[in-house]
Structures are given as structure tokens and as C-alpha cells.
């Protein structure tokens, strides 16, 4: 092998090593548990730490992350898949730094992709890995092929649930499917809409004990978001609650979640941000 060959090989290896974004997929068994509100606000918090964060609305068919962020765009993933525009044409940058890829709403076609179309979509989206630090996929509820494809890609699979028994049962079904599919990413649970951290801890413990006992797998505790009326107030105003009500309880929970996650994603140059300062209050 010549010097040139060796140098080229090293460059290729370093490209893989240093420039691949971490992928976080948010998913759930039951619908309406807070995936989209978490994905949008978490994305903004992570972007506030100086990381390049892209949120992909992967709820194919019933996308609404753009609605929650007050964004209106004529093009979405459907138009990329049908070849009308390129991925770069549909990326929207929120003024707070988060990049958003809108999904298609009301498009049965996107919800029912063929195997070939799904591979093409994943191939198109894989470009994001070299241009960002973190890619967040917000999926639809339930277990189907589209969702499991995004779960499969993830470094971190975040199963969102509330303490409601039906939501916990469905979260367990999702966890079971992910384990049976031998997903490579770390499986963690985010308890949303809890009334206290004691309630969150009790639910986390029950879920992780059952997972250990029946599936012989370890679940990680991503943390919790408190039930907070500011969340729905902000949604009604089409604004993210971490920006609209940065001092509400849910915002503190979200910032602490982002700080925890952000620690695992290295930046070329660490920036001290408001988030890190807030995070210091928690640790
Ligand atoms: N921490 C919270 N406190 C109060 N209300 C909340 C909280 N989290 C979510 N909600 C409420 O739950 C609703 C559903 O949230 P969201 O749309 O994010 O769920 P989802 O899991 O994405 O739903 P779907 O499965 O339909 O995609 C929100 O409109 C909001 O009113
Ligand atoms: Mg949603």
C-alpha cells in the first residue's frame, strides 16, 4: 500500500470517527404522550449549547413538529422523496438555532412506504450525519415498520411514556419489540407528565424491573418532565415552552435532560451556555 493509499484510508476512517452525528429517536407505544413536544423543546435546548442539531419530523403522515414550532413551509419530506426538491431545500432553521426537517401531514403515501421507498428515505437522511452533531427523529406512536426503521438507526432510543397504566403497558410493548429486534442503540425511558420526581422514579423502577426480569435487558433512566400547564399554553400559541416560559417547571426538566444528553456528545470547542449554567444548578 502506498503512502497515498494509507493517507486516504486514514482520512476515510477519521471521517467516520469524528463527523458522525449522534442519533436520538423518540418513540412510544401509546400516542399523545409527549414525543413531539419533547423532541422540539429538547432540540432547542441542545442547539442552545452550540451543537448543530437537526430535528426530523419522522411522524410520516401525521407530522406536526412544524406546527408546534410555528413554522409554515410548502415543502416537506414527501416532496424530497418524490424528487421534486432536495433535502437541503426543505430544511428550516428556527431563529433559536435548531434545524427542522418537516414531515408530510395528511399524506397516506408517506405513512405507507414500500421497502424500497423507506430505504431511499433513510439513504437521503443519512447525509445529515456528516453535517450535524445530533439528529433527533420524532416518530409516530405504535409499532410499525417506519417507526422501527428509525429505532434501528438510533444511538439512543428514547421511549416516552406517562405514568398512566395504558401508556406504561404500551411502552413495555415497544421496549420488548426493540429488544427482540436486537436494536443497537441504548434503550432509555423518559417519564412525562409526572406529578413529582418520586412518581417518576417509582414508574421507572417498575418498568426497568419488569424489563430485567422478563427480557433480561437493562433500561436506562432518561429522567422526567413534570406535568405543567405552560406546556399546553405554549402549544396553543405555537411556541416552544422552553422559549416562551423558560422558568417554568417543565423547562427546568427539559434543560436538565438536554444537559445530561449533551454531555455525551463532544463538541470541537466547548461553549459555555445558558444551558450549562442552568445544568450546574441540578448537579
Ligand atoms: N409535561 C406536560 N405537561 C402538560 N401537558 C403535556 C406535557 N407533555 C405533553 N403534554 C400535552 O400532551 C399533548 C400531546 O403531546 P405531543 O403531541 O407531544 O404527543 P405525541 O406523543 O407526539 O403524540 P402523537 O403520538 O400523536 O404524535 C400536548 O398537546 C400537550 O397538551
Ligand atoms: Mg407527535
What are the angstrom distances between the C-alpha of 131 and each of 4, 27, 124? 26, 24, 13
Give me the pLDDT at residue 8, please: 62
With respect to CATH, is domain 21-282 assigned 3.40.50.300?
A: yes
The DSSP string of the chain is --HHHHHHHHHHHHHHHHHPPEEEEEE-SSSSSSHHHHHHHHHHHHHTTT--EEEEEE-TBB--HHHHTT---S--HHHHHTTSS-HHHH-EE-TTS-EEE---BS-HHHHT--HHHHHHHHHHHTTHHHH-SEEEEEE-SS--HHHHHHHHH-SEEEEEE-SSHHHHHHHHHHHHHHHHTT--SEEEEEEEEESSHHHHHHHHHHHHHHHHHHH----EEEEEEE--HHHHHHHHTTS-HHHHSTTSHHHHHHHHHHHHHHTTS--SS----HHHHHHHHH-
Residue 16 corresponds to which cell in the numbers above?
Answer: 467516520
User: Which residues contact residue 107 at a Cβ distance below 8 angstroms, ignoring those fewer than 6 apart?
Assistant: 60, 61, 78
Give me the pLDDT at residue 265, please: 61
User: To test the ligand 1 pocket, which listed residue (34, 162, 251) has its Cβ within 8 A of the most ligand atoms?
Assistant: 34
Give me the pLDDT at residue 113, please: 81
Give me the pLDDT at residue 266, please: 54
Question: Which residues of the chain, if any, have pLDDT below 70?
Answer: 1-19, 105-110, 264-283
Per-residue pLDDT tens digits for 223-276: 999 999 999 999 999 999 999 999 999 999 999 999 998 876 655 444 444 444
Give me the pLDDT at residue 108, please: 62
Give me the pLDDT at residue 91, please: 94
Dist. CA 26 → ligand 2 center (Å) = 9
The residue nearest atom 14 of ligand 1, judged by CA position, is 32
Q: Between vectors from CA 74 to CA 70 and to CA 77, what angle results, nearest 5°?
A: 95
Give me the pLDDT at residue 211, please: 97
Residue 36 Cβ < 6 Å to ligand 1: yes
Give me the pLDDT at residue 107, please: 61
Contact between 27 and 36 (Cβ < 8 Å)? no
Contact between 63 and 100 (Cβ < 8 Å)? no
Shortest-distance atom of ligand 1 to CA 253: 1
Residue 173 corresponds to which cell in the numbers above?
Answer: 410493548
Which among 188, 172, 118, 128 has a CA at the least distance from the CA of 150? 118
Q: Where are the domains of the chain?
A: 21-282
Query: Strands 99-101 and 92-93: what pairing?
Result: antiparallel
Contact between 36 and 136 (Cβ < 8 Å)? no
The residue nearest atom 8 of ligand 1, judged by CA position, is 34
The residue nearest atom 27 of ligand 1, judged by CA position, is 140
The residue nearest atom 26 of ligand 1, judged by CA position, is 32
Give me the pLDDT at residue 29, please: 95
Q: Between vectors from CA 266 to CA 122 and to CA 18, what angle results, nearest 5°?
A: 55
Give me the pLDDT at residue 163, please: 98
Residue 169 corresponds to which cell in the numbers above?
Answer: 403497558
Dist. CA 202 → ligand 2 center (Å) = 25
Amino acid at each position: 500500500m502506498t503512502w497515498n493509499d494509507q493517507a486516504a484510508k486514514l482520512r476515510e476512517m477519521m471521517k467516520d470517527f469524528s463527523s458522525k452525528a449522534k442519533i436520538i429517536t423518540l418513540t412510544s407505544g401509546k400516542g399523545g404522550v409527549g414525543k413531539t413536544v419533547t423532541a422540539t423543546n429538547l432540540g432547542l435546548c441542545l442547539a442552545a449549547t452550540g451543537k448543530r442539531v437537526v430535528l426530523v419530523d419522522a411522524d410520516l403522515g401525521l407530522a406536526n413538529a412544524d406546527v408546534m414550532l410555528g413554522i409554515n413551509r410548502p415543502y416537506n419530506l414527501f416532496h424530497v422523496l418524490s424528487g421534486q426538491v432536495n433535502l437541503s431545500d426543505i430544511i428550516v432553521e428556527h431563529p433559536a438555532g435548531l434545524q427542522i426537517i418537516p414531515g408530510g401531514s395528511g399524506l397516506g403515501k408517506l405513512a405507507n412506504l414500500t421497502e424500497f421507498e423507506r430505504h431511499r428515505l433513510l439513504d437521503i437522511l443519512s447525509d445529515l450525519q456528516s453535517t450535524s452533531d445530533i439528529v433527533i427523529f420524532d416518530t409516530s406512536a405504535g409499532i410499525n415498520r417506519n417507526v422501527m426503521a428509525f429505532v434501528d438507526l438510533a444511538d439512543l432510543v428514547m421511549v416516552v411514556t406517562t405514568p398512566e397504566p395504558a401508556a406504561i403497558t404500551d411502552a413495555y410493548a415497544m421496549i420488548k419489540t426493540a429488544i427482540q429486534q436486537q436494536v443497537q442503540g441504548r434503550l432509555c425511558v423518559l417519564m412525562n407528565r409526572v406529578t413529582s420526581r418520586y412518581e417518576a422514579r417509582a414508574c421507572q423502577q417498575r418498568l426497568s424491573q419488569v424489563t430485567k426480569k422478563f427480557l433480561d435487558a437493562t433500561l436506562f433512566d432518561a429522567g422526567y418532565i413534570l406535568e405543567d400547564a405552560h406546556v399546553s399554553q405554549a402549544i396553543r400559541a405555537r411556541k416552544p415552552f422552553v422559549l416562551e416560559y423558560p422558568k417554568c417547571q417543565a423547562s427546568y426538566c427539559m434543560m436538565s435532560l438536554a444537559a445530561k444528553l449533551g454531555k455525551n456528545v463532544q463538541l470541537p470547542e466547548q461553549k459555555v451556555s445558558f444551558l450549562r449554567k442552568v445544568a450546574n444548578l441540578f448537579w
